Amino acid sequence: MKRLLFILVTALVFSATHVIAQTPDQVKIKVPSGFAVSVIAKNLDRARHIVVNSNGDIYIKLARVRRGGAIVRLSDKNGDGKIDDTARFGNYGGTGIAIKNGYLYAASNTEVYRYKLNNNVPDTAHPEIIVKDLVAGRQHETKSITLDNSGNIYVTIGAPSNACQLQDRVTGAPGQDPCPLLEKTGGIWQFKADKKDQSYADGIRYATGIRNAVGLDWNSETNTLFAMQHGRDGMQDYHFYPDSISVELPAEEMLEVTKADDNFGWPYCFYNQIIGKKVLNPEYGGDAKTVGRCDGVKPPVMAFPGHMAPNGLLFYTGTQFPEKYRKGAFVAFHGSWNRAPLEQKGFLVAFVPFKNGKPSGDWEIFANGFAGKENIATPNQAIFRPCGLAQGPDGSLYVTDDAKGYVWKISFSGK
C-alpha cells in the first residue's frame, strides 16, 4: 500500500510539473525591479492589438468575433482603478487598432474601419470604411495599422508566402523573379486617414520587401515609420550552419522606413545577423553569405533572434517609467514555432533603448515568463503569447495575450 501510494504521489507530482505546469493565474510575469504587473482582463479570446484612449478607456481588437463583437472596450467608470464596464462591438475579426484625432480605427483582414469618438464614446452604429479590398492571403493575412501626425494611416499587407517560391514552402524550389506578390502585398501601404473607400489605387506603397510586419508604430521624435518584420521560415532545412545557429536565422528585424517605397529586400534577401549583412535567400541562389543583389538593401536598425515573431511595437512617450525607457521601443514577441529541432523561445516583451532616434544599446528582455515554464517544445505549451502593446495616459504599459485573452498593466511603482 505504501508503495502504491508512493507511486501515485510521484505520478501526480510528475503530471503536475510536466503536463499542467501552472494554471494561467499562477503564472508570474517577471519585470525589472521597481515595476509592478497586474492582470486587468482575462479570457477575452484572441486579444491582438490594443490602444488606450486619453480618458483611460482600453480598446482591444480580437482575431474573431466572440460574445457579440471583435472589439472590446474596457472602462473604469468609477475611477477605482479596476475595470467595471465591458462593451463589445465590431462584427469582424482582425488585428490592428489605433486612436487618432477623435477617431477609433480598427482593421479586419481586408478593410480598415473608423468610428467617431463623441465625448470618448465610439459611434459604433456608424463605422466608416476607410480602406477596403486589401489582399488577405492564407498566411500573413492580418492587418496592422498606425497613424502619423500628418493625416496618414499605414497598413501592413503581409505577403501570403514564405519566400515567394513557385511552390510555397517546398525546400529547394526556386523563388519567383521578379516576385509578383510585391505588387499588392509584402509591404506597408499609406492611405489618407479621413478619406472613405480607398483601396490600392488611392494609396501608395510606402515600404516594400517586407514579408510581414505585425508590430508597427509611428515614431513622433524621428517622424518616421518603424516596423517589426517576421522573417522567413525553414532556413534550417538548407543546412548552411549547424541547427543551433540555423534556427536563429534569419533575424527578426526592426525596420525604419524613411522614404516612400523604401525597400527591405524580401523575398530576395534576408538579414544574417551572424555576419551582419543582408544576403541572398537560398531560393535566389544564396548560401547565407553571398550578398549579390542585396548590396545596398536597407539593413535593420536592430536585429533579434529568428522566429520569435514580433507582434507588437510601441515607442514609449510617457514619463512614468525611468529615464532609460523614455523614447525607447518596447517589442512584444509572440514566441516561436519554427525552431525545431531546438526548443521554442521568445514569449516575452523586449526593450530597445533609443537616443536621438537611434538605438543606443542592445535589446534586452523587459517582461518575461509568459510561457509559464522553461524549455517550451511546442508553442501550445506556452500558457500566454504576448501580442499587442499600448501606453496608458498615466504612462503605464499594457500587454495583450492572444492565447488566453489576458491583458496586463505594467506600472513603475518607484522603488
Partner 1 sequence: MMRIVVMVLLLIPGLLKAQTKKSIVKTSTTSATASSANTLKASITRGKTVYAKYCLTCHQVDGSGVANLNPPLINTKWTLGSKTVLIQQVLKGSSGKVEIDGDTFSNTMPPLKVLTDQQIADVLTYVRNSFGNKASAASVGEVKAVRAKLK
Distance CA 252, CA 282 (A): 17
Smallest separation (angstroms) from partner 1 to the CB of 412: 33
Q: Which is nearer to partner 1, 161 or 198 (CB)?
A: 161
20 binds partner 1 (CB under 8 A): no
In 3D space, the residue among 403, 401, 372 whose CA is nearest the CA of residue 22 turns out to be 372
Smallest separation (angstroms) from partner 1 to the CB of 403: 7
Stretch that binds partner 1, among 134-142, 150-158, 220-228, 292-300 (CB under 8 A): 134-142
Looking only at residues 239 through 298 of this chain, which bind partner 1 when binding is defined by CB under 8 A? Answer: none
Cβ pair 329, 316 in contact under 8 A:
yes
Q: What are phi and psi of 380, to 5 degrees?
A: -70, -15
Q: Are strands 354-355 and 358-359 parallel, antiparallel or unpaired?
A: antiparallel
Residue 349 pairs in a beta bridge with 332, 367
Q: Which three cell numbers stand for residue 414?
A: 518607484
Dmax (CA) of the chain:
78
Among 23, 167, 356, 413, binds partner 1 (CB under 8 A): 167
Among 79, 242, 296, 341, binds partner 1 (CB under 8 A): 341
Helices (H), ranges, 19-133:
none
Stretch that binds partner 1, among 95-103, 165-173, 209-217, 250-258 (CB under 8 A): 165-173
5 binds partner 1 (CB under 8 A): yes
168 binds partner 1 (CB under 8 A): yes
Q: Which is nearer to partner 1, 45 or 256 (CB)?
A: 45
Q: Which is nearer to partner 1, 20 or 340 (CB)?
A: 340
Q: Which is nearer to partner 1, 64 or 324 (CB)?
A: 64
Among 95, 162, 208, 311, binds partner 1 (CB under 8 A): 162
Taking CA 117 as the corner, what is the angle to CA 113 and CA 122, rounded to the nearest 5 degrees?
A: 70
Distance CA 266, CA 356 (A): 28
Distance CA 304, CA 97 (A): 25
Among 141, 252, 256, 283, binds partner 1 (CB under 8 A): 141
User: Beta-strand (E) ranges in 76-163?
Assistant: 85-89, 97-100, 103-107, 112-118, 121-122, 128-131, 145-147, 152-157
Smallest separation (angstroms) from partner 1 to the CB of 371: 14
Among 3, 126, 138, 259, binds partner 1 (CB under 8 A): 138
Looking only at residues 52 through 81 of this chain, which bind partner 1 when binding is defined by CB under 8 A? Answer: 63
Stretch that binds partner 1, among 175-183, 232-240, 346-354, 387-395 (CB under 8 A): 232-240
Smallest separation (angstroms) from partner 1 to the CB of 242: 16
> How many other C-beta atoms can be found within 10 angstroms of the C-beta atom of residue 363?
18
Q: Which three cell numbers stand for residue 138?
A: 492564407
Helix, strand, coil tally for the chain in percent (to 5): 10, 40, 50
Among 66, 132, 169, 326, binds partner 1 (CB under 8 A): 169
Distance CA 383, CA 274 (A): 31
Contacts of 218 (CB under 8 A, 6+ apart): 146, 147, 148, 149, 154, 224, 225, 226, 315
In 3D space, the residue among 142, 179, 138 whose CA is nearest the CA of residue 267 turns out to be 179
Return the residue matching grid coordinates 510521484. 10
Among 89, 238, 241, 337, binds partner 1 (CB under 8 A): 337
Binding mask 354-393 for partner 1 (x = CB under 8 A): -----------------------xxxx-------------
Smallest separation (angstroms) from partner 1 to the CB of 25: 20
204 binds partner 1 (CB under 8 A): no
Q: Which is nearer to partner 1, 84 or 243 (CB)?
A: 243
The binding site for partner 1 (CB under 8 A) comprises: 5, 8-9, 11-12, 63, 138-139, 141, 161-162, 167-171, 233-234, 236, 337-338, 340-341, 377-380, 403
